[in-house]
Amino acid sequence: MRFDVVVDVRLRGGIADPAGATIERALSALGYEGVTEVSVGKTVRFTIEAADATEATTQAEDLCASFLTNPVIEDASVTVEAAG
């Protein structure tokens, strides 16, 4: 089966996010009050061949840990769905 995978990469808690902080200041300057906790990450999408969703998730998490993220500064969440 083929699965659509979405990897949401974000900075770990405690790691400075200058892009997020800059956007937050800009939003405030534009008059959008009350917007906080802005963070900037990236999304990686791909499809993967696997026997089932569990195997697809395991593979995706493995390649996240080994390549798509730098665990020193980044975390990721993986979403897997059967390809439509």
Binding mask 46-75 for other proteins (x = CB under 8 A): ---------------------xx-x-xx--
- Is 83 strand, coil or helix? coil
H or E segment at 5? Answer: strand 2-11
Please tell me whether residue 13 binds other proteins under the rule CB under 8 A.
Answer: no
Please give the C-alpha separations between residue 79 and each of 20, 37, 42, 62, 83, in angstroms, as whole numbers: 23, 23, 14, 13, 12
- Is 61 strand, coil or helix? helix
Contact with other proteins (CB under 8 A): which of 22, 43, 54, 79? 22
Question: Measured from the CB atom, is 36 or 66 closer to other proteins?
Answer: 66
Question: Measured from the CB atom, is 73 or 82 closer to other proteins?
Answer: 73
Residues that bind other proteins (CB under 8 A): 11, 15-16, 18-19, 22, 67-68, 70, 72-73
